[in-house]
C-alpha cells in the first residue's frame, strides 16, 4: 500500500480524488492502492527543556545556557485530536510499502512531514510530490514526476537548522532576560527574528522622537505660469546617502547649483538680485521613455500592496492568499521570487483564457503570441517556486476580501503581457544672473499596461490630475522674459513611522531603505525571517504587547522600547547581523554551507550572550505594561469624545448595576475574539451563533466555549 501524507485534510481530499481513492476511513481516505492521510500543520515539535533534564524545568540563571547534546522531537501534547491523528498516521506508515510526502512544497512543509515520518518510525522508501498549485492538472503532473526524498535533504537541513536555532536563542535568551530584568512579573520574549524586528520599530521611533527640525529656504520663480526651482548644490552627506541607497556604487556626477540658503536674509538678497533681471531659457530637452509593468507578486510584495490598498495586516493577507491557493485559483503563496520559469510560458494563454471575469482586458491578447520578457520569465531567478499567479481555474465563491486579493494577482498577471507604457519627459533649464533653475514634466503618450489598472476611478483621476500638472507649456531655447521670484520657508521632516507595509520591506532588506527592485532582490539574501514567517513575527510583537497600532502606524509600547534599550548584545537586535544568519540558512538549502557549522556558531553565540548578561552588575529593570490595561487605557481615551455627542443625562438616570454588569460581561466575552487559540495555538478565536471556536476548526482544532 502507498501512503500519501498531506498537510491539511482539504488538500488530502483533492489528492485522493485525483488518485481514485474514495473510501473514507477515520483519519485517512483509501482506494486504488493508496491511503491518503493528513497532518494539521505541525503535529510534532522540538522537545522542551524539561524533556531533556528535570533541572531545566524551573527557570534559573544557573541552568543557562541550555544546550542539549542532541535535539529530539515529540508529538504535540495536550491536544487529543493531534495525538489521535498521529497514531493513525503511525500505523499507516509502519505498514506502508512506499510513502509519498505531499506536504506544502517549501522548507516548513518539508520539516513538518519529515518530523512526522521520523516520529512514526517510517522505514520504507519515500517519494516527494512537488507542486505549485492544487489544480487537478498540477496534481496529476506532480504524481507523474515524483522526486526522491533525498533530493530535498538540504531543504530539510535548512528547516531543521532554523528550528534548532530559534529554540537555542529563544529559550535561552527569553529565560535570561526574564529572570535578570523582568522582575518575574512578565515573560520577556526574545527571538532570533522577533527582537531585531522590534528593534527596527523602536529605533525608528527614537529617530522621530529625537528629530530636530532644521529650517531651510527654497528659491523658486514663476515664468509663464510655470514654477521653476533653483538648483541647490548637494552636500557630501547627500551624495554619500545616494551612494548607500545605490548599493555603495559611486557615481561621477556634476554637482551644479547654488549653496543651500542658510538664512532668510541670504534668500531675500537673492530674490532682490534677480527680480528685475530677465529669465532666460537655456535648454529644452525631451526624452521619450518606457515604463515597464509592475512585477508579479511574491508574498512580501503582495502583503505590502494589500496593506497599502486595503489596510490588511500581513497575517490577514497570508491567510487570504493561502485560502485562494486551497481553492485552486492561485499558485503556491509562500514564495520570495517575482519571476516565472520558462516552463510556465506555454501555459499562460490557457490561464488568461480561464480569467473569465477579465475578458475585456484579456481580449486584446487573444490571437497573438504573448511576449516573453526576461523581466517576467527567468529560470535563474526561480528556485523552488515561481511568482504568485492565477491558475486559470474560474474564481467563484470568494469572500469580498479574497476577491480583492485575487483581483490584484489577476491584474498583475494580465499586465505583464501588455505593451510598455510610453512616456515623454521634458526638462527645461533656465538662468537668471548665473543662478540655474529647473522644471520637469511627464506626459503619458501611450498608456499600455496602465489600462489594466484603470478600474479604480479615484486612483485614475488622481493620476490624471498629476499628469495634467506636469504637462509643460512649449518652451524654446533662448527665449526670455519677466518672472516673479519667491522665497519659501521649509522645515526638514522626521522619518515616518513604520507601517506593516514598510516594515515588511525593511525585514526583507535587513533594514536598508531600497527603492530599486534589482538591488532589493540582491538584499533579499540577507533579509530577516522568511516570507512565510514575517507575518507571524509581527503578530507575535502585538501579542507580547511590544507594539500597538495607531491608524496604520506601528508604535512601540514602553515595554517594547525599554526591552530594546535593555539589550546591549548587538547579535540579538541587529537586523543586519540577523540577516547574515538568514543568508547562511539559505546557503544550507543550496548545499554551500554546512548545517553543523551553523549550529556550532549559534551555540557559541548563545554562550557568549549568556555570559555577557550574567556579568552585568547594573540595576536595570523593565517597566511592565499589561496588554489588557493598555488597551483599556486607549479605549478610555476615545470614549469621552463619543459621549460628548450625546445629550447630558441627570445623574439619577445613569446606568444601573445589572445592565452595567451585563455590558461588562459582554465586553469581556467579545475580547476573546482575535486572541490566540489556547488549544492549538495556531488559530485565533472566532465568534459563532452559539459558541466561540477556533479559526482552525477545519483543520481539526476542537476548541469550543459557549456564548
Task: Identify the H or E element spanning 269.
Answer: helix 264-274
pLDDT category of residue 521 using cuts at 50, 70 and 90: low
d(CA 489, CA 267) in angstroms, rounded, equals 10
d(CA 612, CA 619) in angstroms, rounded, equals 15
What does the pLDDT average to over 417-446?
Answer: 94
pLDDT above 70 for 625: no
- Chain-centroid distance of CA 88 in Å reads 36
Question: What mean pLDDT, rounded, does the chain reach?
Answer: 86
Question: Is 332 one of the annotated active-site residues of the chain?
Answer: yes
| pLDDT the model gives residue 633 | 52
Rounded to the nearest 5°, which phi and psi values hold at 108? Answer: -65, -45
d(CA 337, CA 531) in angstroms, rounded, equals 10
DSSP class of residue 292 equals P
Is 490 strand, coil or helix?
Answer: strand
pLDDT category of residue 459 using cuts at 50, 70 and 90: very low
Residues 6+ apart with CB under 8 A from 105: 129, 130, 131, 132, 332, 384, 385
pLDDT above 90 for 689: no
pLDDT above 80 for 621: no
| pLDDT the model gives residue 694 | 78
Higher pLDDT, 256 or 400: 400
| pLDDT the model gives residue 247 | 56
pLDDT above 70 for 688: yes
pLDDT above 90 for 243: no
pLDDT above 60 for 695: yes
pLDDT above 80 for 675: no
pLDDT digits (tens, 9 = 90+) for 494-504: 999 999 999 99
DSSP class of residue 543 equals H
d(CA 603, CA 614) in angstroms, rounded, equals 17
Residue whose C-alpha is closest to residue 437's, from 550, 551, 271, 619:
271
Distances (CA, A) of 301 to 173, 323, 506: 32, 18, 12
Distances (CA, A) of 616 to 61, 189, 195, 573: 13, 19, 20, 18
| pLDDT the model gives residue 579 | 85
d(CA 118, CA 84) in angstroms, rounded, equals 17
Distances (CA, A) of 683 to 106, 295, 535: 21, 32, 14
pLDDT digits (tens, 9 = 90+) for 202-229: 999 999 999 999 898 999 999 999 999 9
| pLDDT the model gives residue 601 | 93
Q: Is the peptide bond before 360 cis (omega within 30 degrees of 0)?
A: no
pLDDT above 80 for 105: yes
Percent of the chain's residues with pLDDT above 70: 83
- Alpha helices by DSSP H, listed for 286-436, are 299-310, 314-326, 348-354, 359-362, 400-415
d(CA 185, CA 235) in angstroms, rounded, equals 50
What does the pLDDT average to over 390-401?
Answer: 95
| pLDDT the model gives residue 184 | 66
pLDDT above 90 for 235: no
Distances (CA, A) of 681 to 3, 76, 244, 313, 692: 28, 11, 42, 19, 15
DSSP class of residue 615 equals T
Least confident range from 62-71, 257-266, 281-290, 667-676: namely: 667-676
Least confident range from 22-26, 277-281, 379-383, 426-430: namely: 379-383
CB 419 within 8 A of CB 450: no
Residue whose C-alpha is closest to residue 78's, from 695, 674, 678:
678
Distances (CA, A) of 94 to 123, 380, 447: 7, 40, 62
Is 603 strand, coil or helix?
Answer: helix
Q: What are the grid coordinates assigned to 547, written together?
A: 507594539
Is 547 strand, coil or helix?
Answer: strand
pLDDT above 60 for 5: yes
DSSP class of residue 278 equals P
What does the pLDDT average to over 627-632?
Answer: 50
pLDDT category of residue 455 using cuts at 50, 70 and 90: low
What does the pLDDT average to over 472-486?
Answer: 95
Residue whose C-alpha is closest to residue 454's, from 424, 423, 426, 418:
418
Annotated catalytic residue within 332, 358, 593, 692:
332
The CA angle 627-632-633, to the nearest 5 degrees, is 95
Residue whose C-alpha is closest to residue 488's, from 165, 153, 215, 288:
215
User: Which pairs from 548-554 meet CB under 8 Å and 24+ separation?
Assistant: 548/630, 548/634, 550/497, 552/307, 552/311, 552/499, 552/500, 553/496, 553/497, 553/498, 553/499, 554/201, 554/497, 554/498, 554/499, 554/500, 554/503
Rounded to the nearest 5°, which phi and psi values hold at 563? Answer: -60, -45
What does the pLDDT average to over 163-174?
Answer: 95
Is 456 strand, coil or helix?
Answer: coil
Burial class (CB in 10 A: 0-12, 13-18, 19+), 17: middle
Residues 6+ apart with CB under 8 A from 619: none
pLDDT category of residue 649 using cuts at 50, 70 and 90: very low
How many residues would you count in the chain?
Answer: 707
pLDDT above 50 for 607: yes
| pLDDT the model gives residue 362 | 96
CB 423 within 8 A of CB 288: yes
Strands 34-38 and 28-31: antiparallel
pLDDT digits (tens, 9 = 90+) for 38-93: 998 889 999 999 999 999 999 999 999 999 999 999 999 989 999 999 999 999 99
| pLDDT the model gives residue 519 | 61
CB 370 within 8 A of CB 325: no
What does the pLDDT average to over 508-532?
Answer: 74
pLDDT above 80 for 467: no
Higher pLDDT, 642 or 140: 140
Q: What is the pTM of this model?
A: 0.80
- Chain-centroid distance of CA 151 in Å reads 29
d(CA 313, CA 684) in angstroms, rounded, equals 14
| pLDDT the model gives residue 666 | 38
pLDDT category of residue 121 using cuts at 50, 70 and 90: very high
Higher pLDDT, 268 or 582: 268
pLDDT above 90 for 576: no
DSSP class of residue 492 equals -
pLDDT above 90 for 182: no
Q: What are the grid coordinates assigned to 443, written together?
A: 506626459
Residue whose C-alpha is closest to residue 176's, from 559, 607, 496:
607
Amino acid at each position: 500500500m502507498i501512503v500519501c501524507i498531506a498537510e491539511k485534510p482539504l488538500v488530502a481530499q483533492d489528492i485522493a480524488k485525483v488518485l481514485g481513492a474514495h473510501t473514507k476511513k477515520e483519519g485517512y481516505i483509501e482506494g486504488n492502492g493508496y491511503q491518503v492521510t493528513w497532518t494539521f500543520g505541525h503535529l510534532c515539535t522540538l522537545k522542551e527543556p524539561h524533556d531533556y533534564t528535570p533541572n531545566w524545568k524551573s527557570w534559573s540563571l544557573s541552568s543557562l545556557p541550555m544546550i542539549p547534546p542532541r535535539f529530539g522531537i515529540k508529538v504535540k501534547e495536550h491536544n487529543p485530536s493531534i495525538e489521535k491523528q498521529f497514531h493513525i498516521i503511525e500505523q499507516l506508515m509502519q505498514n506502508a510499502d512506499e510513502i509519498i510526502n505531499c506536504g506544502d512544497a517549501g522548507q516548513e512543509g518539508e520539516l513538518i512531514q519529515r518530523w512526522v515520518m521520523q516520529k512514526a518510525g517510517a522505514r520504507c522508501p519515500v517519494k516527494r510530490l512537488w507542486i505549485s498549485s492544487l489544480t487537478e492538472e498540477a496534481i496529476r503532473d506532480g504524481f507523474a514526476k515524483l522526486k526522491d526524498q533525498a533530493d530535498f535533504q538540504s531543504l530539510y537541513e535548512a528547516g531543521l537548522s532554523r528550528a534548532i536555532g530559534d529554540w537555542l536563542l529563544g529559550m535561552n535568551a527569553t529565560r535570561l532576560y526574564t529572570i535578570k530584568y523582568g522582575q518575574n512579573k512578565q515573560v520577556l520574549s526574545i527571538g532570533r527574528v522577533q527582537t531585531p524586528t522590534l528593534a527596527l520599530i523602536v529605533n525608528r521611533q527614537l529617530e522621530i522622537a529625537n528629530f530636530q527640525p532644521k529650517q531651510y529656504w527654497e528659491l523658486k520663480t514663476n515664468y509663464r505660469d510655470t514654477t521653476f526651482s533653483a538648483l541647490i548644490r548637494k552636500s557630501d552627506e547627500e551624495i554619500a546617502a545616494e551612494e548607500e541607497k545605490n548599493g555603495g556604487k559611486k557615481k561621477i556626477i556634476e554637482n551644479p547649483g547654488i549653496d543651500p540658503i542658510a538664512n532668510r536674509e541670504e534668500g531675500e538678497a537673492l530674490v532682490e538680485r534677480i527680480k528685475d533681471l530677465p529669465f532666460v531659457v537655456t535648454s529644452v530637452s525631451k526624452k521619450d521613455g518606457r515604463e515597464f509593468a509592475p512585477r508579479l507578486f511574491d508574498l512580501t510584495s503582495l502583503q505590502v500592496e494589500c496593506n497599502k490598498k486595503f489596510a490588511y495586516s500581513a497575517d490577514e493577507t497570508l491567510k487570504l492568499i493561502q485560502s485562494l491557493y486551497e481553492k485552486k485559483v492561485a499558485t503556491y503563496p509562500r514564495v520570495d521570487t517575482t519571476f516565472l520559469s520558462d516552463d510556465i510560458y506555454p501555459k499562460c494563454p490557457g490561464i488568461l483564457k480561464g480569467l473569465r471575469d477579465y475578458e475585456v482586458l484579456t481580449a486584446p491578447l487573444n490571437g497573438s503570441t504573448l511576449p516573453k520578457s526576461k523581466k517576467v520569465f527567468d529560470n535563474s531567478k526561480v528556485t523552488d517556486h515561481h511568482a504568485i499567479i492565477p491558475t486559470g481555474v474560474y474564481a467563484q465563491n470568494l469572500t469580498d476580501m479574497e476577491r480583492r486579493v485575487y483581483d490584484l494577482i489577476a491584474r498583475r498577471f494580465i499586465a505583464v503581457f501588455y505593451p510598455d507604457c510610453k512616456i515623454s519627459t521634458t526638462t527645461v533649464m533656465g538662468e537668471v544672473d548665473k543662478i540655474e533653475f529647473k522644471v520637469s514634466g511627464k506626459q503619458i503618450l501611450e498608456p499600455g499596461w496602465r489600462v489594466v489598472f484603470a478600474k479604480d476611478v479615484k486612483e485614475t483621476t488622481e493620476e490624471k490630475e498629476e499628469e495634467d500638472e506636469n504637462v509643460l507649456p512649449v518652451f524654446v531655447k533662448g527665449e526670455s522674459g519677466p518672472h516673479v521670484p519667491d522665497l519659501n520657508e521649509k522645515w526638514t521632516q522626521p522619518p515616518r513611522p513604520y507601517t506593516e507595509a514598510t516594515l515588511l520591506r525593511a525585514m526583507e532588506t535587513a533594514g536598508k531603505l531600497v527603492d530599486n527592485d534589482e538591488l532589493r532582490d540582491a538584499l533579499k539574501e540577507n533579509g530577516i525571517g522568511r516570507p512565510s514567517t514575517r507575518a507571524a513575527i509581527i503578530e507575535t510583537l502585538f501579542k507580547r504587547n511590544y507594539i500597538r497600532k495607531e491608524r496604520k502606524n506601528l508604535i512601540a509600547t514602553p515595554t517594547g522600547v525599554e526591552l530594546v534599550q535593555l539589550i546591549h548584545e548587538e547579535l540579538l537586535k541587529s537586523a543586519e547581523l540577523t540577516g547574515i544568519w538568514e543568508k547562511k540558512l539559505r546557503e544550507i538549502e543550496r548545499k554551500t554551507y554546512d548545517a553543523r557549522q551553523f549550529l556550532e556558531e549559534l551555540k557559541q553565540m548563545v554562550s557568549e550572550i549568556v555570559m555577557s548578561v550574567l556579568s552585568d552588575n547594573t540595576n536595570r529593570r523593565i517597566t511592565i505594561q499589561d496588554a489588557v490595561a493598555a488597551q483599556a487605557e486607549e479605549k478610555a481615551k476615545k470614549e469621552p469624545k463619543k459621549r460628548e455627542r450625546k445629550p447630558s443625562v441627570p445623574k439619577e438616570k445613569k446606568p444601573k448595576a445589572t445592565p452595567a454588569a451585563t455590558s461588562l460581561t459582554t465586553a469581556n466575552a467579545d475580547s476573546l475574539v482575535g486572541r490566540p487559540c489556547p488549544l492549538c495555538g495556531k488559530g485565533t478565536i472566532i465568534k459563532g451563533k452559539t459558541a466561540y471556536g477556533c479559526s482552525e476548526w477545519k483543520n481539526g482544532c476542537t476548541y469550543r466555549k459557549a456564548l
